[in-house]
Structure 1
Amino acid sequence: MMQSRAMPVKPGRIEEIGYLRGFGVLAVIAIHTTGYFTEISEFNYLVLANLWIDVFSQFAVPLFILISGFVLARNYPEDYSLKKFYIKRVRSIIPQYLIFSILYTAFNNWAVMQNSSFGTNVSLLLKNVWNAEASYHLWFFAIIIQFYLLFPVIMKLYNLFKQSGRAELLVVLFLIVQTLFMVGIHTFYLSGIKLNFIGFLFYFVLGVYTADHFAPLKRGLKGQTLFLFTMSLILTIGSSFFIIIGLTTGYRFSSIPAYFLIGSELVYPVFRVITFLFLFNMAQNLIKKRKTLLAKMINRFGEYSFGIYLIHIFFNQSAIKMLRNRQIGFDDWIFYPIVLGVTLILSYLSVRLISFFPFSYYLLGSQTNKRTAK
């Protein structure tokens, strides 16, 4: 265990991180909008367009995991107080998780809860909190909590490899472990396993490694935007190849054999890293044009990304219900941009408004009069 000998280092702010968070939360909303292509009964161009957007946007959670590793490694590089570290981590995530678990449990089960006993409703809530099942997007909290708990161990291991000049070896080992795990969950042997953080180990330690080598990595990426964008597009199409085969040969998305996805799992780590690099270059370009409307919007989305992530499902599901009541459904092209736009705009505006209230940090991670980094 690490002993407290020094306060955490307060390094300079990395402006690109805000833009990357903005890209990440936009991708999350895209996933939760385009994902309804799985409900379309026949394969067509609408399915294909949404599939490609969905496959590309899946970088979102890996990116947030990488950012967490990066930020924690910069703030807590060596010796620090474990007590203070864990208190700050609990404060930054547990109140928000508990509050939204309660809200989403009620939102998704209100009709049933009205006709159930108090004890039954409490049991449902406790089950949702323990299993991160109050809403389908809260699974992220289970993963990030596991990484917070393991961070001191991961850093000890990383520093051990670093001291012997083998930090890159640890990154590669975690890549192998993650890939084997992700392939394994599509087989009989690992299906249903709950240690989902293993599927993101590589991204987290890559964030730690990036924090340790940030300056040279940043210099080496200049002028690569077009190449990285092209590679991301190629890998998007390649990663969806077997899914398209499944959809065009009569399978529904939910019934495509798991072994169809193994090839994609082998490609995903390289695909995600290339996408991260592309987005980092995009962030650098936006910093140079920070006064433009697009740059300001992405930066603001990044600033409120945690709150938007938490709250957006309320607006996403409400928009879908509203459209379907008006006979606009998953088979309609107009359905997807409307749901995306409504979800994004109302999520941002609501988080922005709530941030003016006292103690809003404990609800959405943002407070206008006193900003606290996640």
Structure 2
Amino acid sequence: MRDLTKKWYIEIDLLRGIAIVMVLLIHTFALFTQIPKINLLAIVTSFIDIVSSIAVPMFVFISSVLMTLQKSYLNNYFMFIYHRLKFIIIPYLIFSLIYLVFYSYWNETPFPEWKLIASSLYNGGSAFHLYFIPIIVGLYIFYPISYSFVMWSSKKMTIIFPILTALLFQYIWIYQHLIISKIYPEILNLFIYPYISTFTSFLQVFVYFVLGIYVGANYDNIIGFLQKCKLKPYLITAILLSSIVTWEWLLGIKEYGNFYVIPAIIMIPTRLIMIVSHIFWFISLYKIIEPLLKTTNTLKTMISEVSRYSFGIFLIHIFYFEVLLKLFTKYHLTSTRPTFYILFFISMFILSYLSVKIISLVPFHQYVIGKIAKGKE
């Protein structure tokens, strides 16, 4: 049996590198919603956007797997929280303030009052991608309870029970506004409601967290199973499920005229299909990187390098997203043209990576872009 608390998991390292690339892809190809009519470009870009939606689930899954493998919380829960959050919260707060200043200047609006600043720092509202930080904080805080629940229920019953329970909580959180408005709408007007909603926001990805705990607790067995699997059936299934979601999204856009006004209740089955597709994509991506695990080549080195700086890239890339979007629009290169997506993604990726790389040379950089792993083979 391997010492799972000390091993360097190159497979997880590579998946993290792919996940951060997916984050940039989803923010690039989400601009398909600006295409005025459904055509081949809309179909292709929406499909890529849907496939890239595995980014956040993959980060949650990876974090859960690693926490379970390392079992650092067993020694001291508060030290576990401290070490996990020290290089997350401080960079998050710094970038939150930077984005508040940036958007005030960029949108030519007054700098927000202190109440809005405090609210933005709490709920990740300073920039549209920072909602992920309250999620990850909640997952860390509730990890020991989640771990105990998964271990107990999977032994007493099967892994299906904790997954279905997590799925129930996930759907309740996602559709909380709709549910509460039907049962007790007065709750929505309570001052504390948005704060409770943010504190429990980790529930919107709870299935992936629970799945990660189970995989981490049974890591050798799961890896052994995956090594026997064939890529083709999982990849075909993942593509098929993502295609179904693409078709449903485009039908919704055709009927309602805009993706963002499609009624939430219509998306209930679509979300379930997406969750299942994410699991098949996880397996497919593992099988795709599997040949890299026992070799050293340029591709493996590049993915590992991106993985090392993934948190910093995550924090900074929206700055370049906004700048490039305005620059491209100024020169009439819009999301209605295929070249827009290619150039936009490559530009945002290179600028984000180089910026983080430069910041990493500065003393105390870990408090700005997070801790950077040294990397191993």
TM range (shorter): 0.7 to 0.9
Closer/same/farther in 2, CA of residues 114 and 50 from structure 1, 3 Å limit: closer
User: Quick check: 1:344 aligned with 2:349?
Assistant: yes
User: Quick check: 1:31 aligned with 2:26?
Assistant: yes
Match of 1:328 among 328, 333, 340: 333
- Paired with 2:130 and 2:225, the residues of 1 have a C-alpha distance of 36
Show the counterpart of 1:95: 90
Q: CA deviation at 1:274?
A: 0.7
Contact residue 242 and residue 274 of structure 2 kept, 8 A = no
Show the counterpart of 1:3: none
Closer/same/farther in 2, CA of residues 111 and 345 from structure 1, 3 Å limit: closer
Instruction: Give the secondary-structure state (helix, strand or coil) at the position aligned to 1:349.
Output: helix
Closer/same/farther in 2, CA of residues 114 and 258 from structure 1, 3 Å limit: closer
Closer/same/farther in 2, CA of residues 189 and 131 from structure 1, 3 Å limit: farther
- Paired with 1:219 and 1:157, the residues of 2 have a C-alpha distance of 25
Q: Within 5 A, what are the aligned runs for 1:74-223?
A: 74-76=69-71, 79-110=74-105, 120-161=112-153, 164=156, 166-179=158-171, 181-182=173-174, 189=182, 193-194=197-198, 195-222=200-227, 223=229
Counterpart of 2:125 in structure 1: which amino acid?
E
Deviation by residue 1:45-66 (Cα, 9 ceiling, x = unmatched): 1111110001111011011111
Instruction: Give the secondary-structure state (helix, strand or coil) at the position aligned to 2:142.
Output: helix
User: Quick check: 1:258 aligned with 2:264?
Assistant: yes
- Paired with 1:308 and 1:89, the residues of 2 have a C-alpha distance of 18
Contact residue 106 and residue 113 of structure 1 kept, 8 A = no
Contact residue 166 and residue 210 of structure 2 kept, 8 A = yes
Show the counterpart of 1:228: 234
Q: CA deviation at 1:158?
A: 3.0
Closer/same/farther in 2, CA of residues 364 and 161 from structure 1, 3 Å limit: same
Match of 2:250 among 234, 244, 252: 244
Counterpart of 1:110 in structure 2: which amino acid?
Y
Contact residue 354 and residue 360 of structure 1 kept, 8 A = yes
- Paired with 1:104 and 1:171, the residues of 2 have a C-alpha distance of 36
Q: CA deviation at 1:287?
A: 2.1
Name stretches of at least 5 consecutive residues in structure 1 with no aligned partner.
1-7
User: Quick check: 1:279 aligned with 2:271?
Assistant: no
Q: CA deviation at 1:20?
A: 0.5
Deviation by residue 1:203-255 (Cα, 9 ceiling, x = unmatched): 11111110111112112123422222111110111122221112233521122
Deviation by residue 1:311-358 (Cα, 9 ceiling, x = unmatched): 111112211111111111121221111110001111111111211211
Show the counterpart of 1:5: none
Closer/same/farther in 2, CA of residues 234 and 114 from structure 1, 3 Å limit: closer
- Paired with 2:222 and 2:269, the residues of 1 have a C-alpha distance of 29
Show the counterpart of 1:363: 368
Deviation by residue 1:80-108 (Cα, 9 ceiling, x = unmatched): 11221121123131101100101111111
TM-score by length of 1: 0.88
Structure 1 residues 258-267 or 107-116, which shifts more? 107-116
- Paired with 1:267 and 1:78, the residues of 2 have a C-alpha distance of 34
Q: CA deviation at 1:22?
A: 1.0
- Paired with 1:136 and 1:246, the residues of 2 have a C-alpha distance of 23
User: Quick check: 1:19 aligned with 2:25?
Assistant: no
Match of 1:58 among 53, 61, 70: 53
Structure 1 residues 223-232 or 53-62, which shifts more? 223-232
Deviation by residue 1:183-206 (Cα, 9 ceiling, x = unmatched): 666665599854332121111111
- Paired with 1:162 and 1:254, the residues of 2 have a C-alpha distance of 38
- Paired with 1:161 and 1:114, the residues of 2 have a C-alpha distance of 51
- Paired with 1:132 and 1:126, the residues of 2 have a C-alpha distance of 10
- Paired with 2:360 and 2:241, the residues of 1 have a C-alpha distance of 39
Instruction: Give the secondary-structure state (helix, strand or coil) at the position aligned to 1:10.
Output: coil
Q: Aligned residues, how many?
A: 360
RMSD: 2.6
TM-score by length of 2: 0.87
Counterpart of 2:312 in structure 1: which amino acid?
G
Show the counterpart of 2:301: 296
